[in-house]
Amino acid sequence: MESSFTVARIRGIPIGVHYTWAIAVVMITWSLAAGYFPQEYPGWLPRDYWFVGAAAALLLFISVLFHELCHSFVAQARGLAVKSITLFIFGGVSNIAQESEDPRDEFLIAVVGPLSSLALAGLFWLGVLAIPNDTSPLGALLFYLTTVNLMLAIFNILPGFPLDGGRVLRAILWGSTGSMVRGTTVATVVGQVVAFLFIGYGIWQIFIERDFLSGVWIGFIGWFLNSAAEATRRQVQVQEGFRGITVESVMTPDPPVVSPALPVRALVDEYVLRRGLRALPVAQDGRIVGLVSLSDVKHLPEPEWSGNSVGAIMTRPPLRTIGPEAPVARALERLVEDDVNQLLVVDKDGTLLGMLTRRDVMRFLQMRGELRMRR
């Protein structure tokens, strides 16, 4: 997730914090210190309300982090790489490198989230029972964390994608029908129904209950769920459209290759402006030594184009490559994961066969759509 920074690493997983996380912490602290705790526990010192409110907000997000870590640890145990975990205004998200290929893996990864929140709720409840005075700041804090983790477990088990319950539903449908696409379609539709219910309840809160802050918050959660469900369905539909299609069928074969000695000015005039090419392999003595792209050129001021060669600005090995027999869906995942516009297509010996760009993928989809081809 963009605009986030890493604060720790746990079992090799970068833990990131998005800037909206700070907004959420401030909002939750304020609502607890100025509203919930004074109403439920009158008689504390004013500073106690703010101290407990801030502690509750931070421990809430630590609970969310534990929830996401459980997802990530199960994913790692099932052989899936986890790129990062990010905390943001709506909670947390585990960035698993690829979708599960087995419905059983999907089920296990998803169901452990609500179970972990339920376990935390039980643990905090034991703490409440161990406190002689459950109206003390510590007792109130433990009771709040019990309640909020129980609510997280219930919320996440709702059968609407992309919530954990929606992923559990997709896994069950996927396993019973044998079709991940059908399971995703149903789960995302249910997810959007749940999202619109949240949006409707948020509107009710604003205009009927006159609770503007809660209404806006609930409405935003619904909007987020709806957007995520729609994006997932589109992604799966795109992947389904590429089923059985290999990189070799979509790539641009035998792309132009330039020398590292070519002046940047000549590169721009001859290849970028005249031919509309955004990236080219760089070869010397028949061997690929780099890749030069429009982004590389843009980092060099125009007055210096004539005095610098391609070799001075190109991206050097290791380069991002893919085999010609790889599925296009996997290549598209690589393009998105690595945030690049092109992949070099090479055979087992490292010989350059072609180049696959995002433009190639989109053109292929467009042309097949115009021809109304199903496969």
- Please report, for the chain, the start and end positions of each structural domain, with discontinuous segments joined by +: 4-241, 247-370
Q: pLDDT by residue (tens digit) across 336-361? A: 778 888 999 999 888 899 999 988 88
Above 80 in pLDDT, residue 241?
no
Whole-number Å distance between alpha carbons of 362 and 99 = 21
Q: Which position among 40, 68, 240, 325 bears the catalytic label?
A: 68
Could you tell me where the beta strands, DSSP code E, fall in 11-103? Answer: 13-18, 82-88, 91-96
Per-residue pLDDT, 16: 95
Quick: pLDDT tens for 299-328.
999 999 999 999 999 999 889 999 999 988
Q: Does residue 375 register a pLDDT over 60?
A: no
Confidence of residue 372 (pLDDT cuts 50, 70, 90): low
According to CATH, the topology of domain 247-370 is: CBS-domain (3.10.580)
| Distance from C-alpha of 180 to C-alpha of 103, rounded to nearest angstrom | 8
User: Residue 84 and residue 13: Cα distance in Å, rounded?
Assistant: 5
Q: Average pLDDT in the 68-87 region?
A: 95
Q: Please check the confidence at residue 365 and state whether its pLDDT lies above 80.
A: no
Any catalytic annotation for residue 304? Answer: no
DSSP H or E segment with residue 170: helix 164-177
Integer Cα distance of 228 and 218 in angstroms: 15
pLDDT on residue 1: 58
β-partners of residue 322 are 345
pLDDT at 2 over 70: no
